[in-house]
Chains A and B, each alone.
Chain A
């Protein structure tokens, strides 16, 4: 049983690390001949990917998937709240600029 669990944790770590490495590609794709340029797509993607990672950490590493439904729903609600707050503030800032 322990071996099965450790394989799952390894898979989770690989997915989290792979998402982190994707950031390098996203960053390079946003450059204009080496010069960094502002990009809404990159910012929204960066925030979304980070929140996907947060949810994976909560569900798998923090064992929320084995927790009572209340904690599962509460942590999911928190991720949605964080997404709404971060993207909301970013777009409000852009609109006010």
Chain B
């Protein structure tokens, strides 16, 4: 796609096309399968040791999980707006939305750090039993994905910052990655905090 081209938001009349690069969608589908297999193993063991998992799970603060989830959903909303504003050529607004995305991502990361610190302070670590082994594994691997998401947002902002670089396809690719980090958390949250 031409880097300086102003594109319109998709409507029912615009030709259908894959948002971003196709390769990113292969990654999205692959990562979803990898995480689904982790979640499947977790649910299998959880169902077999319900009492032990429930006891350990009661140490988590559901409100903190809800706040983190809403922060990440808000970041996804921001990056979705960023894609649309970039598409109609409003690049300053798109840059602001990218900054908001990073800001809400940072809020999520802060809440997660607070929760980790609280759990470790209470003596719940990676070796404290099956539930906390899964808890730290899922949340840590998700955080690695989130940190890569910040790099993707940096690439997105770099693209938007100069008229010589603007590529809508790269903006959409980076946003697709960020949304993937968001929906993986939606699943992790349901399984770790709510499942009984």
Contact = CB atoms under 8 A, between A and B. Distances in A.
A91 B47 contact: yes
B16 A37 contact: no
A66 B16 contact: yes
Contacts of B191: 46-47, 50, 86
A91 B183 CA distance: 23
Nearest to B51: A38
A71 B47 contact: no
Contacts of A47: 190-191, 195
Contacts of A66: 10, 14, 16-17, 19
A38 B88 contact: no
Contacts of A51: 187
A24 B189 CA distance: 12
Interface residues of B, number: 62
Interface stretch (B37-45, B109-117, B124-132, B137-145): B37-45
Contacts of A16: 73
A65 to B, nearest CB: 9
Please classify the interface of chain B as helix (H, G, I), strand (E, B), loop, or mixed, using the class held by over half of its residues.
helix
Q: How large is the interface on A (under 10, 10 to 19, 20 to 34, 35 or more residues)?
A: 35 or more
B74 A2 contact: no
Shortest 6 CB-CB contacts between residues of A and residues of B: A93-B47, A50-B190, A89-B40, A93-B44, A66-B10, A46-B194
Interface of B: 8-11, 14, 16-19, 25, 29, 32-33, 36-37, 39-41, 43-51, 54, 57-58, 62-63, 66, 69-70, 73-74, 76-77, 79-81, 83-85, 88, 90, 172, 175-176, 179, 182-183, 186-187, 189-191, 193-196
Interface of A: 1-2, 5-6, 9-10, 12-13, 16-17, 20-21, 23-24, 26-27, 30, 36-39, 42-43, 46-47, 49-51, 53-54, 57-58, 60-64, 66-69, 71, 74-75, 78, 81-82, 85-86, 88-94, 96-97
